[in-house]
Each structure stands twice: as C-alpha cells, then as structure tokens.
Amino acid sequence: MFAEIITIGDEILIGQIVDTNSAFISKELNKIGVSVYQITSVQDEREHILKALGEAKQHAQLVILTGGLGPTKDDITKHTLCEFFNDTLVQDLDVLAHVEHLFEKYITTSAISEINRDQALIPAKSEALHNAYGTAPGMWIRDGETVFVSLPGVPFEMKHLITDAVIPRVVSEFERPYILHKTLVTYGMGESAIAEKIETWENELPDFIKLAYLPNLGRVRLRLTAKGLDRKALEMAVEREIDKLHPLIGEIIYGLENEETLEAVIGKLCVAKGVTLSTAESFTGGKIAQQITSVPGASAYFKGSVVSYATATKIEVLNVDEKLIENHSVVSHEVAEAMAHNVRDLLGTDFAIATTGNAGPTKGDSDVGIGTVFIAIATPERVFTEKFMMGNHRERVVQKSVNKAFELLQKEILKF
C-alpha cells in the first residue's frame, strides 16, 4: 500500500520553517506497513494544490495533506478540495460547538468572530476528524479507491490527529503488508570498506530484504528492510541475516539504532565494571558530556566535565603547564594528554576523555590546520592520544570527533 504526503505552505518553500510533519507522518505510516511513495511541498496556491492532488491520486491509495486550514484568506485548502471533488462547504455542528467551547474556555481576550466560526465549514463529502487541540478539524474524504486526509499544519495538532484518528482508521480500513526495519550502527570503518567486507553476504540477501548504507560523521548505519505478510517470519529472516554479519564485521557493530547508542553501551560497561568517567573538552564545547548525560543513570559513573575552551582555562583550571603549550601548541599530543591526565586526577575518575583541536573557520590559538584534532584517553594504567584530520566543516569536525572519542573510550573500557 502506498501513501503520498502533501505539505501546503509558502513558509516551507522559503525555508522559514522546517517540514517536520512529513517525517513524523512517514514514520507512523511505516509502522503500520504503509510505504510513502512521495512527499510533495506546494505553495498556498490553487493550481499547485490541484495539480498535486491529481498526481497523488494516480499512484497512492492514501493521500495526507497538512497545512492551509487556518481561518485567514491565505489558507485555501478547504476551498481547493471542494473544487477538486466538485463539492461545497457545509457547516459541521459538532465542529462548531467545539470551536465555541474553545473560545469560551481558553480564549477570553477576544470574542469569537464569524471567521472563527467558519472553521466549522468542511466539504460535504468529507467526515470531520476531531481536533481536540485546535479549531481546524481534520477531514477524511474517500474518492473511489483513494482516501484523502487533510490535517492542520500545526505539528502538535497534526500529531494527535495522526495518532488518535488517522492511524487507527487506516488500520481498520486497509489491508497492509508488514514493513520491518532493523538498523545496525557501526563505528570506525568507512562505507566502501564495509561494502567490500560484506559484498558476498549482501549479494545473497533474500529478495524481500533490502540493505541501505547510511554514512554519517564517523559511523555507518546499515539498515535492513523486510516487507511481507508474516511479521514473525520477517523478524526471523532479518535476525538470521544479522547473525551472518557478525563474523564479518562484528568488531565494529555497536548495537541497533533506537535501542542503544554508543554512549549508552559505554554507560552499561562502566556500571558493569564499576568504573567512573570524566571529560575535558576544548573545541567540542561540552558535547561529549552532553551525550553522556543524556543516558538515564549516568550519574552512577560520570563525575563531571571541564569545558576548557580558552587556553587560559586549560592552564588555570586543568593545570596544563604553560610551557607545554608554548613548546608544543595548544592543539597537540602533549596538551591533549595533559588535559586527560589532569581531569582524571582532578575529578578522581578511572577513565577520562580529552579533546583539543581546530574546528575552524579560523586557526585560533594554534597554527595547526583546520580540522586537526587530538583525542586523548586516560585509563587507570596509561594516557594515550590519537591525531585525526576531520575535514573543514566546523559542525562535522565537532560531531565526528565526539563519535571517535566514544569509539576509542569503549575499546579501552573493554580491556579493563
């Protein structure tokens, strides 16, 4: 079964807002076996909306529109739907009562107007979907073999309508296959290198299982997608294929996406081994600490962080020798190791991470090239540093370095 999503609004096309609605709807539809064929964004303009509706009907059994349902003249979705279906607007008394109730209870600063009451006008061929959190109802319109659903564009309202009204009705009215996704997260090996190692395995995948490579900042996600009528059979087949992967690349697989992040894996290791952790961050600006503390229960093993962004802070708080910086530069093996060693001792932890580098766009307090990064790991027995060249895009340099720091740390904790 295929669906199409149409988002309506100039604000999306000019970049004023990001279309998060389509991502949410796609994910919810996928959970119930509905494949999204296409996502289209159009202006609040009659001809564009009519064209998008006509094209969607050709290849989708379910068409979901969001946006253009406000009370002002620039919101034309309901009128355009009437034109497309050769229909007229009629007043829905239940919707009208809801709108009046909202104004009476929550909107006391202004009286209800006829424009507000017009929110209760819906195409005669449609069924209203109750919007508990706003004045614009959702609308369900069946036209031959295709169902059109029109929803308000406000994300909070749209999400509740999808969850409470649309998904249950799609489940009850349409026959759908199962769609199963399992995504393995790998660190420390590039996409092409992984592809070489698993080429034979990939070529021998069953026809109903597809593999996608999703590389991103020092890690590659491998998504297996299976589609069929028997959910249990799909789950067993995907698990068999994952079992075959572990002898090939098991050393770089860190878990399943949406189940455990690498920082969560590290947290479990720290608890199991009874060890503690601290961080000293320069150019990463506290992002390593932020990801560690995003894991519930991190206080059991994470003692804290020193964000020594300025050179003076490295000297005054972390007690990095000023002469060490003068002789080797603030971005160096020596300084990274001093930061890791000193924060480990300062906070009394077993392990520590330290980062120093040049993320750009200017060189700052060091002459090293943009993208040069040093990551140090302090363990109970030693301190070591690795140097990396992370490119020239500031945000990517930072996040790649955070991911690499976790990768290095996890390997060391496993040895403990």
Res 285 pLDDT > 80 = yes
Condensed to tens digits (0 to 9), the pLDDT of residues 322-368 reads 999 999 999 999 999 999 999 999 999 999 999 999 988 776 667 78
Q: What is the mean pLDDT of residues 304-315?
A: 95
Would you say residue 315 has pLDDT above 70?
yes
Q: Alpha-carbon distance 285 to 300, whole Å?
A: 23
pLDDT at 69 over 90: no
Give percent of the chain with pLDDT exceeding 70.
Answer: 99
Whether residue 193 is predicted with pLDDT greater than 80 in this model: the reply is yes
Count of residues making up the chain: 416
Q: How far apart are CA 413 and CA 247, in angstroms?
A: 22
Q: What is the pLDDT of residue 258?
A: 67
Average pLDDT over every residue of 53-74: 89
Please tell me whether residue 361 adopts helix, strand or coil conformation: coil
Q: What is the pLDDT of residue 259?
A: 59
Whether the predicted pLDDT of 415 surpasses 80: yes
* Average pLDDT for the chain: 92
Q: How far is residue 322's CA from residue 335's CA, in Å, rounded to a whole number? A: 10
Angle formed at CA 216 by CA 213 and CA 218, multiple of 5 degrees: 110
pLDDT at 4 (0 to 100): 97
| Confidence band, pLDDT 50/70/90 cuts, at residue 112 | confident
pTM of the shown model: 0.62
pLDDT at 109 over 80: no
Angle between helices 77-84 and 46-59 (to 10 degrees): 50
Give 229-248 pLDDT, tens digit per residue: 898 999 999 999 999 999 99
pLDDT confidence of residue 70: 78
What is the spatial distance between Cα 302 and Cα 276, in angstroms, rounded to a whole number?
Answer: 6
Q: What is the pLDDT of residues 219-230, one digit of tens each?
A: 899 999 999 989
**pLDDT tens digits, 253-269:** 887 876 578 899 899 99
- Strand partners of residue 41: 7
